[in-house]
Copies of this chain bind each other. A is one copy, B any other.
């Protein structure tokens, strides 16, 4: 096989293939060998590869040495980026090679083209490592739960967001401080935009939902909202409602077969199992019509956890597993726009504590027939800023959006309100 990319994950793959090599060779009745590695700069000294290179492994800067030059059966793409991997994968399929990839962004963006190309050429894409690193959730949905009509996925798919929310809750940090710590500990990228915007979770949800819907799910179909507005105050108010805030990726099927697809900060009950997931861990809660509820929990990032799934895919390919060629050939079911979804909402507003302000605020909700289930306003000093927190009964998303826009236009609030959706 040939490796494209030899950064953190690629090095992890080589490490596992080295230390588990004997066991895997026994299981497969033949050794697994990396014979070519493609890197950006082959001239750069790579001490950790010295052993491999001395056994005749070829290092080059030319991806075609792996995707089309003779002598390679499997292309392992762990390079990152989007356009490059897209072209390498297409080239690999055209040249009769299967592909293992950890690249969620490429699959979520170009999945329709890539899955179709693989199908036409009779090739396979193995992508276990692209969602929730070590957790074999792709396999669970493709194989273990294949006999089910799945009706729900609710998942913590981004370790950075979960780490930040955990620090904010347990250590009372504000968001910028928690983000800085996540970066210092290597859980967040130097540019964390894709993580905290919810974009990374949306990429992963698109891949999981695609398996369940038997169709490519364009990432644009997923309503996505980032973490940036959540404050320590929200986390403390959530605790008063016996809730935690988690960055959830949700796919929910209604009885007519239409789906909601959303990624956003979410209030969930503290005794729910997803609420127990701390730090950089990932977890996926599933519901199937035969299997019932199910949860998988584990490390969602890191060199070895990701490489664990890449090597699992390499073994699958070596065993000759062919996947299900029609797994993405279906039509996309109806996607329900999030503005039409009915949920309970948490709303936090900052106002000046002047007589009658609470009544004026609630009247904006009443005008739109939004029923309020509880309201909290801490003791404050007349004329000073005070937070007001309310929780609505089930209300259509757009109606809450409209009420909040009216409130902002009326200049009653000191700053933009924070709205967090509640999942039961």
By a beta-carbon cutoff of 8 Å, the part of chain A in contact with chain B is: 12, 16, 20, 23-24, 26-29, 128, 134-136, 139-140, 143-149, 214, 273, 276, 288-299, 302, 304-305, 307-309, 311-312, 315-316, 319-327, 329-330
Question: In the complex where A214-B26, A330-B26 touch, is A135 in contact with B308 (Cβ < 8 A)?
Answer: no
In the complex this chain forms, how many copies of it are found? 2
Besides A26-B330, A136-B140, A294-B296, 15 other A-B contacts (C-beta < 8 A): A23-B149, A24-B147, A28-B324, A134-B145, A136-B139, A136-B143, A143-B312, A145-B308, A146-B312, A290-B304, A290-B305, A292-B299, A293-B299, A296-B296, A320-B320
Q: Which of B12, B139, B290 contacts A139, CB < 8 Å?
A: B139
Q: Which 9 A-B pairs have the closest CB atoms?
A: A136-B144, A147-B311, A294-B298, A134-B291, A290-B308, A295-B297, A290-B304, A291-B308, A292-B299
Tell me the bound Cα distance from A295 to B281 in angstroms.
Answer: 11
Which of chain B's residues has its CB closest to A134's CB?
B291
B321 near A319 (CB under 8 angstroms)? yes
A308 near B288 (CB under 8 angstroms)? yes
- Chain B residue numbers with a CB within 8 Å of A325 are 29
- Chain B residue numbers with a CB within 8 Å of A27 are 146, 214, 324, 326-327
B298 near A291 (CB under 8 angstroms)? yes
- Chain B residue numbers with a CB within 8 Å of A12 are 290
CB distance from A158 to the nearest CB of B (A): 17
- Chain B residue numbers with a CB within 8 Å of A309 are 144, 291
Question: In the complex where A312-B143, A315-B147 touch, is A298 in contact with B295 (Cβ < 8 A)?
Answer: yes
- Chain B residue numbers with a CB within 8 Å of A28 are 324, 326
Tell me the bound Cα distance from A144 to B315 in angstroms.
Answer: 9
- Chain B residue numbers with a CB within 8 Å of A308 are 145, 147-148, 288, 290-291
CB distance from A259 to the nearest CB of B (A): 16
B293 near A295 (CB under 8 angstroms)? no
- Chain B residue numbers with a CB within 8 Å of A307 are 147, 290
CB distance from A264 to the nearest CB of B (A): 25
CB distance from A20 to the nearest CB of B (A): 6
Tell me the bound Cα distance from A297 to B297 in angstroms.
Answer: 9
- Chain B residue numbers with a CB within 8 Å of A16 are 147, 290
B26 near A146 (CB under 8 angstroms)? no
Tell me the bound Cα distance from A302 to B292 in angstroms.
Answer: 10
Q: Which of B296, B321, B329 contacts A321, CB < 8 Å?
A: B321
Which of chain B's residues has its CB closest to A25's CB?
B326
Question: In the complex where A128-B144, A214-B27 touch, is A298 in contact with B305 (Cβ < 8 A)?
Answer: no
- Chain B residue numbers with a CB within 8 Å of A29 are 325-326
Question: In the complex where A296-B296, A299-B291, A321-B319 touch, is A145 in contact with B149 (Cβ < 8 A)?
Answer: no
CB distance from A391 to the nearest CB of B (A): 26
Tell me the bound Cα distance from A197 to B88 in angstroms.
Answer: 56
B312 near A297 (CB under 8 angstroms)? no
Tell me the bound Cα distance from A12 to B319 in angstroms.
Answer: 30
Which of chain B's residues has its CB closest to A304's CB?
B290
Tell me the bound Cα distance from A292 to B301 in angstroms.
Answer: 11
